[in-house]
């Protein structure tokens, strides 16, 4: 319950600094004035959504207090107390939304807003969407139209999903006001989801604690006599750090800051460096501990431990494939040729292994504990925080109070972003279930005789396209409620499908217009996005080929999973 309270404070911070995930393909092309007009429109709709949630939370608390309902645990906790987070947290968010409206009003003051055609365009759009709901249009079509419109106008993804879903649910009388808050509350009150913030904190501690450089130096000591040895060492560090951290963008940024200056000193082109680190950082969401696999398990009901086991081999295969590609490119273009003084030394390897020992131990501790059954994924996440704290404070001693505050702040904000999208997507999933969209989709597929291999190809293409505009978590929460119920009837293993989706969503970090790693590399290297894209392209092609192979060879994902 404490995590849920923390989430609402984190969402409040997100609103204050406007750090939500959104599709900015359209809105970024507008003038600052029209961007502020759109932000005002988004905030008004978001305020309406939050008000409904807060009122629903009040009704939930009132009902729980009157009925005396208690928790299912042995403590028999009065549930109206934890439920208070919905109305009180909702009021906090209402305050933040009103504060944002006042701020935007100040920015638009004196700019002749009512003379701008954009204002009347938004009014007409609102009328058209409202009219659409009054017609005999299919509810699913109405939902998808509203969702697409909200997202492409740049509305934060969580608010876009929430507004579109809530409008359809309430207008078509599919849910009562007091049924909204409990669905959102229980969507994030799941034991397995508690692992996400702990893995994020643990990963941030290890990265801010400076554990990336020792790994990079160890890889370089092992491979310095090979063409492109330092570049392959970067991939080695990326794979190991992926098994420590659950924060993909932070991994790419950390490696970029440390490795790119070093690589450029050795004669590697900046474009190649950006592409390599951008691609290598994507492995973070596939190699455990992965927050995306935790989210997939929470939504689908698949075992997160099985997903972790299934993701391990594909992650290392893709990492090895990128390393081979790096070696071939460096061999052909003569990047990173060994210098005459670069001699292999077992003494140096021993020294670098000693300095990186604590970073190397963590993946074995966490994954070994999960795979052996010593602790669950959630318990492993807690262990990762304690381990990272001991290493950073007692061994390396390079994190102070300011760094701790920054780490906790970043972790709460990132966790809140994920949880808020989950809460909003719950309403979307409920509507999809009520409309039996999965059954309708299966009937349509049966009518046109779509085979399982065709289905996987269609899903891969659809997810790849969605990845150009949406974050991995958003894709899971939109796609999975629709397609997961179909998998068993098509004979497709749910764990295998989860790994396929995750590999596909790795590509979302590398594809414009919203590829996160493109922006991270652009910011780190002070280079335009187009240069980063050119560097990423060879590795993107390889990852697509890897996705194709793993899609149609399930053995790669399921060989170590107990069926």
Residue 78 backbone phi and psi in degrees, to 5: -65, 115
The pLDDT value recorded for residue 25 is 67
The pLDDT value recorded for residue 245 is 66
Distances (CA, A) of 204 to 136, 244, 248, 408: 50, 10, 11, 9
- pTM of the complete model beyond 0.95: no
DSSP letter assigned to residue 511: S
Q: For the chain, what percent of residues have pLDDT higher than 70?
A: 97
Residues 6 or more apart whose Cβ sits within 8 Å of residue 253: 520, 523, 524
- What digits encode the pLDDT tens for the residues 105-116? 998 888 878 888
The pLDDT value recorded for residue 301 is 87
What is the CB neighbour count within 10 angstroms for residue 223?
22
The pLDDT value recorded for residue 165 is 87
Residue 70 backbone phi and psi in degrees, to 5: -120, 165
What is the CB neighbour count within 10 angstroms for residue 203?
29
Q: Which residues is 78 bridged to in the sheet?
A: 70
The pLDDT value recorded for residue 500 is 93
Nearest to 216 by CA among 272, 273, 165: 273
The pLDDT value recorded for residue 555 is 93
Ramachandran category for residue 99: left, alpha or beta (phi over 0 → left; psi -120 to 50 → alpha): alpha
> What's the whole-number average pLDDT of the chain?
84
The pLDDT value recorded for residue 514 is 64
Q: For the chain, what percent of residues have pLDDT higher than 90?
A: 16
- What digits encode the pLDDT tens for the residues 141-199? 888 888 888 888 888 888 888 898 888 888 888 777 778 888 888 888 877 788 888 88
The CB-based long-range contact list for 548-557 (8 Å cut-off, 24+ gap) reads 550/314, 550/317, 550/499, 550/500, 550/503, 551/456, 551/457, 551/460, 551/500, 552/453, 552/456, 554/493, 554/496, 556/313, 556/314, 556/317, 557/310, 557/311, 557/313, 557/314, 557/495, 557/496, 557/499, 557/500
Report CA 366 to chain centroid distance, whole Å: 21
Q: At which residue do the structure tokens 């972003």 appear?
A: 417
Helix (H, G, I), strand (E, B) or coil at 73: coil
Nearest to 502 by CA among 538, 469, 463: 463
Q: Which residues is 70 bridged to in the sheet?
A: 78
Give yes or no for residue 385 having a pLDDT over 90: no
Give yes or no for residue 460 having a pLDDT over 80: yes
For the record, the structure tokens of 46 come out as 């978001």
Give yes or no for residue 248 having a pLDDT over 70: no
Q: Average pLDDT of 417-432?
A: 82
Q: What is the DSSP string of 518-540?
A: HHHHHHHHT--HHHHHHHHHHHH
């Amino acid at each position: 319950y404490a995590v849920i309270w923390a989430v609402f404070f984190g969402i409040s911070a997100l609103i204050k600094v406007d750090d939500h995930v959104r599709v900015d393909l359209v809105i970024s092309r507008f003038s600052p004035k029209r961007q502020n007009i759109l932000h005002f429109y988004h905030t008004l709709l978001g305020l309406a959504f939050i008000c409904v949630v807060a009122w629903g939370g009040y009704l939930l608390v009132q009902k729980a207090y009157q009925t005396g309902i208690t928790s299912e645990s042995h403590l028999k906790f009065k549930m109206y107390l934890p439920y208070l987070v919905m109305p009180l947290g909702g009021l906090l968010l209402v305050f933040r939304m009103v504060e944002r409206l006042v701020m935007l009003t100040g920015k638009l003051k004196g700019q002749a807003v009512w003379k701008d055609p954009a204002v009347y365009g938004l009014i007409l759009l609102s009328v058209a969407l409202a009219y659409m709901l009054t017609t005999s249009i299919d509810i699913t079509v109405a939902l998808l139209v509203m969702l697409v419109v909200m997202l492409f106008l740049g509305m934060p993804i969580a608010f876009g999903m929430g507004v579109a879903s809530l409008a359809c649910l309430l207008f078509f009388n599919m849910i009562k006001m007091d049924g909204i808050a409990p669905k959102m509350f229980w969507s994030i009150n799941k034991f397995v989801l508690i692992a996400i913030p702990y893995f994020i904190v643990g990963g941030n501690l290890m990265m801010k604690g400076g554990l990336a450089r020792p790994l990079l130096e160890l890889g370089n000591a092992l491979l310095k006599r090979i063409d492109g040895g330092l570049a392959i060492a970067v991939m080695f560090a990326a794979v190991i750090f992926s098994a420590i951290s659950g924060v993909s963008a932070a991994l790419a940024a950390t490696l970029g800051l440390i490795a790119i200056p070093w690589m450029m000193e050795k004669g590697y082109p900046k474009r190649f460096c950006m592409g390599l680190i951008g691609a290598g950082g994507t492995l973070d969401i596939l190699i455990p501990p992965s927050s995306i696999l935790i989210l997939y398990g929470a939504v689908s009901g698949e075992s997160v431990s099985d997903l972790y086991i299934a993701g391990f081999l594909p992650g290392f295969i893709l990492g090895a494939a990128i390393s081979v590609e790096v070696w071939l490119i460096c061999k052909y273009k003569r990047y990173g040729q060994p210098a005459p003084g670069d001699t292999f030394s077992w003494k140096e390897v021993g020294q670098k292994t000693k300095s990186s020992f604590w970073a190397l131990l963590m993946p074995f501790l966490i994954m070994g504990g999960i795979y052996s059954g010593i602790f669950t994924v959630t318990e492993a996440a807690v262990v990762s925080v304690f381990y990272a704290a001991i290493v950073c404070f007692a061994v390396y001693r390079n994190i102070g109070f300011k760094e701790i505050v920054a780490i906790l702040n970043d972790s709460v904000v990132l966790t809140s972003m994920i949880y808020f999208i989950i809460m909003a997507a719950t309403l979307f999933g409920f509507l999809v279930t009520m409309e039996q969209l999965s059954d309708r989709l299966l009937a349509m597929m049966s009518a046109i005789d779509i085979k399982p291999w065709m289905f996987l190809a269609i899903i891969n293409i659809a997810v790849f396209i969605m990845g150009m505009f949406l974050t991995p978590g958003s894709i899971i929460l939109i796609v999975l409620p629709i397609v997961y119920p179909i998998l068993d009837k098509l004979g497709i293993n749910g764990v295998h499908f989860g790994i396929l989706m995750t590999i596909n969503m790795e590509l979302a970090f590398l594809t414009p217009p919203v590829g996160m790693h493109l922006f991270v590399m652009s910011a780190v290297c002070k280079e335009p996005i187009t240069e980063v894209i050119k560097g990423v392209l060879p590795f993107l092609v390889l990852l697509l080929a890897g996705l194709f192979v793993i899609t149609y060879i399930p053995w790669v994902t399921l060989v170590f999973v107990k069926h």
